[in-house]
Amino acid sequence: MTAMFDLSGKTAIVTGANTGIGQGIATALAQAGADVALVGRSSADETAEKIRALGRKAALIRADLSTIEPVQEVVDRTLSELGGLDILVNNAGIIRRADAVEFTEEDWDAVVDTNLKSVFFLCQAAGRHMIGQGGGKIINIASMLSFQGGIRVPSYTASKSGVAGLTKLLANEWAGKGINVNAIAPGYIATNNTAALQADEGRNRQILERIPSGRWGDPSDLGGAAVFLASSASDYVQGHVLAVDGGWLAR
């Protein structure tokens, strides 16, 4: 059974790997045996240290995914520095908050370009390589707002709903080519991005009251799901959005 989850000899790209969810997933993939290319606008040195301490290789690739300009370079450098590409985790994302009647075109474009446009074109670039080698695994990071509407985050909701739909489309096109395309939808995870919510006593209480597990998630809670979707254990899983939410959607 353990062999089904073994990623030894595999190489992964994880975007937004410097902290939070990206760091948790990158570390989990390394624990399962993968080498990892860490992609982001800021330094992922801490994540690289964790991966190298596990005896795996880590490549640091600085890239601003607010545009698609660096997409092909990310794939090319992963291939040249780590020698392969078997797994792609599209985790990098941003959020902007404002009432819908006040929301600006600038904030709309910034979020959709990063969270959806760059995700598609990175899938495309990785997918071309994976099709050529006969297979691979793509894991997109969706959201609770892939299922729900949310408030005051129109571009984020639109982008993450788009990620869920894109995941299904790519699975339909690429399943027959040996590529599994799935997504993880994290619940309320304790990261820098949710620090304001955690600090808001009233909102924090409301959130915890709805989570059956009774706690915020930790980035490490997503590691098992990521390893599953990156491994041969998920070879017959396609186009699925896996909620890792402590039961939030079940409440």
- Residue 20 resides in a domain: yes
- Give the tens place of pLDDT for each residue, 134-187: 999 999 999 999 999 999 999 999 999 999 999 999 999 999 999 999 999 999
Give the domain extent around 144: 2-244
What's the confidence (pLDDT) of residue 196? 84
pLDDT at residue 130 is higher than 70: yes
> How many residues are there in the chain?
251
What's the confidence (pLDDT) of residue 194? 86
Whether the CB-CB separation of 23 and 47 falls below 8 Å is answered with yes
Structure token pair of residue 27: 């570390």
- Give the tens place of pLDDT for each residue, 218-245: 999 999 999 999 999 999 999 999 999 9
pLDDT at residue 101 is higher than 70: yes
Average pLDDT along the chain = 97
pLDDT at residue 43 is higher than 80: yes
Give the number of other Cβ atoms within 10 Å of residue 92's Cβ.
25
pLDDT at residue 214 is higher than 80: yes
pLDDT at residue 195 is higher than 90: no
- Residue 180 resides in a domain: yes
> What strands lie across the sheet with 179-186, from one edge to the other?
58-62, 35-40, 11-15, 87-90, 136-141, 179-186, 241-244
The predicted model gives 182-203 an average pLDDT of: 92
Per the structure, the count of domains in the chain is 1
pLDDT at residue 249 is higher than 70: yes
Render 112-158 in DSSP notation, one character per residue. Answer: HIIIIIHHHHHHHHHHHHHHHHT-EEEEEE--GGGTS--SS-HHHHH
pLDDT at residue 193 is higher than 90: no
- Residue 66 resides in a domain: yes
- CATH code of the domain in which 59 resides: 3.40.50.720
What's the confidence (pLDDT) of residue 197? 86
What's the confidence (pLDDT) of residue 110? 98
Please indicate whether residue 236 is annotated as part of the active site. Answer: no
- Residue 171 resides in a domain: yes
- Residue 100 resides in a domain: yes
Whether the CB-CB separation of 153 and 97 falls below 8 Å is answered with yes
Contacts of 193 (CB under 8 A, 6+ apart): 20, 95
Which of the residues 59, 136, 156, 166 is marked catalytic?
156
What's the confidence (pLDDT) of residue 1? 60
- Give the tens place of pLDDT for each residue, 46-74: 999 999 999 999 999 999 999 999 999 99
